[in-house]
């Protein structure tokens, strides 16, 4: 039965959805239920948050033109990506430090992904080692998102582990060679990684732990920080997280490589046969270069507006990227996608698939795995309904002709 019908029928017996369906209410309720630090970190945007606004106004700048009397009773959302048929052009965005939202973190999202068959992109900054997430996913599809660290050995190790976990693609995030300027987190002076959160892929990695040991041998009698009350509190948090101070310190040294350049991609290309997608592409020339470097897909993303303030919205950037790529490799999009109609617009503008970001984290925060699952089900249901009500029966029929630009 359709999700909408199930919800209304549930209401007859007094059952309401576990998490709000309205995207704005979902966000507000979830942020209100979290600690201040968690809410700031998850909702944070760069600078004045103008990029987050651009993501939304980018979608609002296009309007759908529904067509009538086209039998839509037999429709399908199925989409094929890299040879795998998916239930819909939808994946979960890689989102780190999910323990801020719920103690079940990535495992709960894996349960939701498995229940809906929506592929999960496992984050490099997850709160749970990828092997545990993969075990929860069973035979449901998963990709791995990589941050290119300053250690090539670590990059190789993470990619090898991802292959062992059955990842069907590697997504290399390019827009975070350094952390964006996020006033809310700066005002709270809060970065979860320094408390040992969101570094489980590192602390579970043999190469990373070898690097930690090598540093310990070199460190000798380095001065210890003064034991203030806050420092003690952080130490307690660290102990609870299972990470050691040495591991956190090493993480801060290796996690990013600001020198990363196009020439580095060959290293990865030689080490995996999996499709590689570049995440953070906003300029058509960069998409062109990605193809020239042997990449298998591009992901139009601005990291949910968390990196550069005042940058182009992804719905604005997508048409030019899709036009240049011209079907040679899949083009995906995320940032600011808040419902099934946004998914429809992105597909109409040239995206082969779309990533859901913060909304599933809000579902997770409110009701764990069941909450994340409901959010994904709502996206699927609204996308399906948008197809039905606009007169299309398959994803391939959704094209630029379905939209007009707001004058």
Ligand X SMILES: Cc1cc2nc3c(=O)[nH]c(=O)nc-3n(C[C@H](O)[C@H](O)[C@H](O)COP(=O)(O)O)c2cc1C
Shortest separation between residue 301's beta carbon and ligand X, angstroms:
5
Complex with ligand X: residue 329 or 375, whichever CB lies closer: 375
* Start-end of H helices in 171-304: 183-187, 200-203, 206-219, 229-241, 245-254, 265-271, 284-292
Minimum Å gap between C-beta 302 and ligand X is 7
Nearer to ligand X, 356 or 367 (CB): 356
Listed residue (206, 202, 207) closest to 243, CA to CA = 202
Cβ proximity of 105 and 98 under 8 Å: yes
Residue closest to ligand X when measured from CB atoms = 357
Least Å distance, CB 112 to ligand X, is: 16
> 405: Cβ–Cβ under 8 A, 6 or more apart, which residues?
61, 62, 63
Q: What stretch of H or E contains 18?
A: none
- Contact call for residues 89 and 345 (beta carbons, < 8 A): no
Which lies closer to ligand X via its Cβ, residue 143 or residue 368?
143
Residue 102: active-site member: no
Q: Minimum Å distance from CB 231 to ligand X?
A: 25
How many CA atoms are closer than 13 Å to the CA of 64, on its beta-carbon side?
23
What separation in angstroms does the CA of 254 have from each of 160, 198, 209, 211? Answer: 18, 14, 12, 9
Q: List residues near ligand X by CB under 6 A.
A: 41-42, 93-96, 123-125, 145, 173, 279, 301, 303-304, 334-337, 357-358
| Nearer to ligand X among residue 126 and residue 392 (C-beta) | 126
Q: Which of 49, 195, 250, 303 is catalytic?
A: 303
Shortest CB 11 distance to ligand X, Å: 29
209 closest CA partner among 153, 258, 159: 153
Q: Of 94 and 392, which has the nearer Cβ to ligand X?
A: 94
Instruction: State the number of CA atoms in the 13 A half-sphere of 235 facing the CB.
Output: 9
72-106 per-residue burial string, b: 16 or more CB within 10 A, e: under 16: beebebebebbeeebebbbbbbbbbbbbbbbebbb
Our CB check for ligand X shows the closer of 130 and 392 to be 130
Nearest-approach distance from CB 401 to ligand X, in angstroms: 26
Distance of alpha carbon 223 from alpha carbon 220, whole angstroms: 9
| CA–CA gap between residue 186 and residue 181 (Å, rounded) | 8
- Give the residue numbers marked as catalytic: 303
């Amino acid at each position: 039965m359709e999700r909408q019908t199930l919800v209304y029928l549930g209401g007859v017996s007094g059952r309401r959805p576990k998490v709000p369906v309205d995207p704005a209410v979902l966000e507000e309720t979830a942020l209100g239920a979290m600690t201040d630090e968690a809410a700031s970190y998850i909702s944070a945007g760069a600078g004045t948050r103008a990029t987050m606004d651009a993501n939304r106004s980018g979608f609002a700048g296009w309007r759908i033109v529904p067509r009538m009397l086209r039998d839509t009773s037999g429709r399908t959302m199925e989409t094929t990506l890299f040879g795998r048929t998916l239930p819909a052009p939808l994946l979960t965005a890689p989102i780190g430090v999910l323990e801020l939202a719920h103690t079940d973190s990535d495992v709960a999202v894996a349960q939701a992904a498995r229940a809906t068959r929506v592929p999960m992109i496992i984050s490099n900054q997850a709160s749970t080692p990828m092997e545990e997430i993969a075990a929860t996913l069973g035979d449901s599809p998963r990709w791995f998102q990589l941050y290119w660290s300053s250690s090539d050995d670590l990059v190789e190790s993470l990619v090898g582990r991802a292959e062992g976990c059955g990842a069907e693609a590697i997504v290399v995030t390019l827009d975070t060679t350094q952390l964006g300027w996020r006033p809310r987190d700066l005002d709270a002076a809060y970065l979860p990684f320094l408390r040992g959160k969101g570094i489980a892929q590192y602390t579970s990695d043999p190469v990373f732990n070898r690097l930690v040991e090598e540093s310990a041998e070199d460190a000798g009698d380095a001065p210890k920080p003064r034991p203030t009350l806050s420092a003690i509190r952080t130490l307690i948090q660290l102990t609870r997280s299972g990470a050691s101070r040495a591991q956190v310190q090493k993480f801060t040294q290796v996690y990013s490589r600001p020198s990363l350049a196009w020439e580095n991609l060959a290293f990865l290309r030689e080490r995996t046969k999996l499709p590689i997608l570049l995440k953070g592409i906003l300029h058509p020339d960069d998409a062109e270069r990605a193809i020239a470097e042997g990449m298998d897909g591009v992901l139009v993303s601005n990291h949910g507006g968390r990196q550069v303030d005042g940058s182009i919205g992804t719905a604005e950037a997508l048409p030019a990227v899709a036009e240049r790529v011209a079907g040679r490799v899949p083009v995906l999009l995320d940032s600011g996608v808040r419902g099934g109609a946004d998914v429809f617009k992105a597909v109409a503008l040239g995206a082969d698939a779309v990533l859901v970001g913060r909304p599933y984290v809000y579902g997770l925060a409110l009701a764990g795995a069941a909450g994340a699952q409901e959010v994904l089900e709502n996206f699927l249901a609204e996308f399906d309904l948008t197809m039905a009500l606009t007169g299309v029966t398959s994803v391939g029929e959704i094209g630029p002709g379905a939209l007009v630009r707001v004058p």
